[in-house]
Structure 1
Amino acid sequence: MSETIMDYPLRTHDKLRFSDTDKQGHINNAVYSTFYETGRTQTFEEAHKAADNDDCEFVIAQITIQYLAETHWPGTVEIGTRIKRVGNSSLVLEQAIFSNGNLCSTGESICVQINTASRKSQPFDDALRNYFESLMEN
C-alpha cells in the first residue's frame, strides 16, 4: 500500500523557494529538515493547547530522514505528521513530505518534553498524553 498525505492526521504545507535549490536544480537535502520542523511546530503548538500545564516545551533528541524522490522548484510540499509511539516524557513522530501527491521523503523524530525552568524531562500530563495518542497511526 502506498502512503498518501491522508495517512497523516496532521497536515500542513511549505512553499518551495528558488533559494532552496542546489547545484543539480532540485531542492537541497538540508531543506527537508526545515519542512519537517514546520510539521513538528504545528504538532507542538496544538499540543500546548491540549496540555493542562504550560511550563514545558519540546526538544529534539534524534531525527532521521530518508530521501525517496527529487523535489523541484517552483511549487509547494505537503507535510504529514503522526505519532508512532508515546513514552513517559518522549514521543516518536513519523512524518512524510509529498510533492504533487508523490511521496518524496519520510522522517522520524524523537522529541522530549522538558520543564522550562529546570530544563529536565517532564512527564506528559493526561490531557497531553490523550492528545498524542489521538494522533497515532491506526
Structure 2
Amino acid sequence: MPKPDPALLDPARYPFSCDIEPRFGDQDLNRHLNNVAIASFIEDARVRFYHANGFRAHIRDLNVMIVSVAIEYLGQAHYPGAITIHCAVEKIGRSSLTLVQVLRQGETLVGFARSVMVAVDPQGAVQPVPQVFDGWMLRS
C-alpha cells in the first residue's frame, strides 16, 4: 500500500476514537510495541467502532467478513502509553465497506490502516451493506 494521503492522517476527520492500553508483553526486543500488537489494537478499535455506531445491532442475521487489511507503520510506539485509534467509514459500496483508522501515541503518528469488509448471510452469500453509517463517515 502506498503511503496514505496526508489528509487521511488528520484525527479531526474521524468521528470515533478510543484508547487502547498496551501490555508489557506487547513489546519486541527493541522495546517497541510489536507489529502483531498494533494489528490487534486495530481489530479491537474496529469492533469498538461497530458497537458505538450500532452496526452490530443492524446486522443480526449477517456476519462481517474481512476481505483485506492494509497497515502502514508510520512511527514507533512504546510501552507504557495508550494508543489512540481514530476510525471512520471511508466508502460504502453495494456489498462492501471500507474503514480507515489512524493510530497515535500522544502526538506521535504511529500508523494508518484501511480495512475492506463484506456482509454475508449464514450461508456465506454476500449481501448488501446496511446503510446505518450516517454520522460515521470520514469528514471532509
Query: TM-score category by the smaller chain?
Result: 0.7 to 0.9
Q: CA shift at 1:133, angstroms? A: 4.5
Q: How many residue pairs end up in the alignment?
A: 131
In structure 2, the partner of 1:121 is 126
Query: 1:5: Cα distance to partner?
Result: 3.1
Matches of 1:134 and 1:7, distance apart in 2: 11
Q: RMSD over aligned Cα, in angstroms? A: 1.7
Deviates further, 97-106 or 5-14: 5-14
Q: Which residue of 2 aligns with 1:106?
A: 112
Partner of 1:37: 43
Paired amino acid for 1:120: A
State the Cα distance separating 1:136 from its structure 2 match: 1.7
Q: Which residue of 2 aligns with 1:25?
A: 31
Contact between 1:86 and 1:133, CA under 8 Å: does it hold in 2? no
- Match for residue 48 of structure 1? 56
Q: 1:93 and 1:62, CA in 2 relative to 1: closer, same or farther beyond 3 A?
A: same
**Secondary structure in 2 matching 1:69:** coil
Q: Extract unaligned runs of 5+ from structure 2.
A: 1-5
Q: CA contact under 8 A between 1:91 and 1:111: conserved in structure 2?
A: yes
Percent pairwise identity? 26
Q: TM-score, normalised by structure 2?
A: 0.85
Question: Is the 8 Å Cα contact of residues 27 and 70 (structure 1) preserved in structure 2?
Answer: yes
| 1:22-58 residue CA offsets vs partner (Å, 9 max, x unmatched) | 0111000111111110121023232123x2x520121
Distance 1:120 1:10 in 2: 30
Q: Which runs of 4+ in 1 moved over 2 A?
A: 1-7, 43-46, 131-134
Q: 2:72 aligns with which of 66, 74, 79?
A: 66
Q: Deviations over 1:61-116 (max 9, x none)?
A: 1000001110000111111111111011211111011101322100000011111x
